[in-house]
Amino acid sequence: MKAIGKKWGSLMMAVLLFVSVPVLAADTKKQTNTAVRFYVECLDAQDGLMLISNVSSSLRKDIKLDADFTLSVGGEITQQTMLSYITKTPEIEKVLKKIQQTFQKEGYVVYAQDGTRYPISDLTPQNFDVEWNYMYFDSHWHINGRIIDLATNQPVYIGKADGQPATPQYTSNFAYIFGYNDTTMGAQGNLLRGEVCAMIHRLAKQNDKRGGFVYNASKPPVYEDIAGEWFRSAIEYLEHRGAFDTKKGGNIYPYAAVTRGETFKLLCIGLGFTSNPALTVDDYAQIMKNAGYIQGDENGSLNVSDLITRAEFCAIYNRVIGREDAGLVTKDGEKITAETYGFKDLTGNEWYYETMLKATSAYDEDGYVDIALRAVRNDLDDYQ
């Protein structure tokens, strides 16, 4: 699981799951099949407790109290005692899934204590746990749970995403795309699966965020049709992260053009915006949109079925690495144009003109274009 930013929403809320267990009178000897009601409640840091949504319908469970267990008002019953008499608590996976369903379509995201932002889709048992606590008040025993980030062992908060770009979690000073040749950028050309994977892998490797992946060229390739290819390590990195459904040993077709939807998935999985490989392409698109990395067309569509062009990908990539607002001037004041690099198919009138120049430029530590550094193609592909 990787964060998608560090931007606080306008409302920070801690998710609490409450179970209300009726108190047993002193002469009660047996009570079984008591319905456990769950609520998603939010604790606002400023406004206190506030009910958001009742989700009891699909999470209703039965608990059973021991036949000999009795409870008197004021009786000293510890949390451990209560826990020992409850034979079944809701499955964490179902609890987290219901929270996902409740908040996914409403533009909410998960926030860590330090403000780091995660997509709601990351609420899985692999990333989070539910910590249960028991208390007695208002003549009832209450069982409440809070969602805990397994990476930090801290509770998380849920808030509304504000739609602004997340703080970039990846940086790169290198030029990351070059032309088909010295004079043709081919910005409107379709991007290929192997090329997308290579650029994602390079960025993850530069930022030391490959999730434990170690490339071993001496082993047989994961897919038959990447043997000897320059992008083999990139394809195997994405496979390691779970981005592909293709069975190992088969063909991944690295020279095939990819859709916008598949590209969104590769970016989300490869850069750790979510660790869930089983979402729909629309879900991955929403994650990218919530992070501020993509925008819809004039009709609001994200066009997930369309093939992605080199220009469209570079516009997204520039936002991811924080290069969207970078300048196009050297430290000596020279303005960078298509003529600087010899491209004849960039006239200056295209919407992507500056996008492509920024993508094919390298930058020094002060944010100026470094023409000499552009010639240094960082060796990140493990190609021999």
Domain boundary among 106, 138, 160: 160
For residue 334, the model assigns a pLDDT of 97
For residue 221, the model assigns a pLDDT of 96
Answer yes or no: do 59 and 148 share one domain: yes
Residue 229 has pLDDT above 90, yes or no: yes
Answer yes or no: do 144 and 203 share one domain: no
For residue 109, the model assigns a pLDDT of 78
Distances (CA, A) of 269 to 184, 200, 202, 272: 31, 10, 14, 5
In a domain, 181, yes or no: no
Domain boundary among 118, 139, 160: 160
CA distance 1 to 123: 10
Average pLDDT over residues 52-78: 34
The number of beta carbons lying within 10 Å of the beta carbon of residue 202 is 21
In a domain, 65, yes or no: yes
For residue 162, the model assigns a pLDDT of 59
CA distance 125 to 19: 20
Residue 37, judged by CB atoms within 10 A of its CB (0-12, 13-18, 19+), counts as middle
In a domain, 61, yes or no: yes
In a domain, 6, yes or no: no
In a domain, 5, yes or no: no
Answer yes or no: do 156 and 210 share one domain: no
More confident residue, 278 or 235: 235
CA distance 220 to 315: 35
CA 117 to chain centre: 9
For residue 156, the model assigns a pLDDT of 76
In a domain, 173, yes or no: no
3-class secondary structure for 196-256? HHHHHHHHHHHCCCCCCCCCCCCCCCCCHHHCCCCCHHHHHHHHHCCCCCCCCCCCCCCCC
Answer yes or no: do 264 and 134 share one domain: no
The number of beta carbons lying within 10 Å of the beta carbon of residue 304 is 18
Q: Which of 52-66, 234-248, 307-321 has the lowest mean pLDDT?
A: 52-66
pLDDT tens for each residue of 180-197: 999 999 999 999 999 999
Q: What is the mean pLDDT of the chain?
A: 75
Answer yes or no: do 336 and 285 share one domain: yes
For residue 59, the model assigns a pLDDT of 34
pTM above 0.75?
A: no
CA distance 171 to 322: 7
If we measure between CA atoms, which residue out of 272, 258, 263 comes closest to residue 203?
272
pLDDT tens for each residue of 330-347: 999 999 999 999 999 999
Answer yes or no: do 368 and 238 share one domain: yes
Answer yes or no: do 144 and 286 share one domain: no
More confident residue, 71 or 374: 374
| Location of structure tokens 């409403």 | 106
pLDDT tens for each residue of 279-306: 889 989 988 988 889 988 888 889 999 9
Answer yes or no: do 232 and 96 share one domain: no
pLDDT tens for each residue of 133-168: 554 444 444 455 677 888 888 777 676 665 444 444
Q: Is 81 helix (H, G, I), strand (E, B) or coil?
A: helix
Answer yes or no: do 271 and 364 share one domain: yes
Q: Are 89 and 110 in contact (CB under 8 A)?
A: no
In a domain, 1, yes or no: no
Running DSSP on this structure, what letter comes out for residue 336? P
Answer yes or no: do 68 and 151 share one domain: yes
* Tally of structural domains, the chain: 2
Answer yes or no: do 153 and 200 share one domain: no
CA distance 247 to 179: 33
Answer yes or no: do 137 and 21 share one domain: yes
In a domain, 121, yes or no: yes
For residue 73, the model assigns a pLDDT of 29
The whole domain housing 368 covers 193-374
Residue 261 has pLDDT above 50, yes or no: yes
CA distance 74 to 380: 67
Q: Which of 17-26, 201-210, 294-303 has the lowest mean pLDDT?
A: 17-26
CA 283 to chain centre: 10
For residue 93, the model assigns a pLDDT of 83
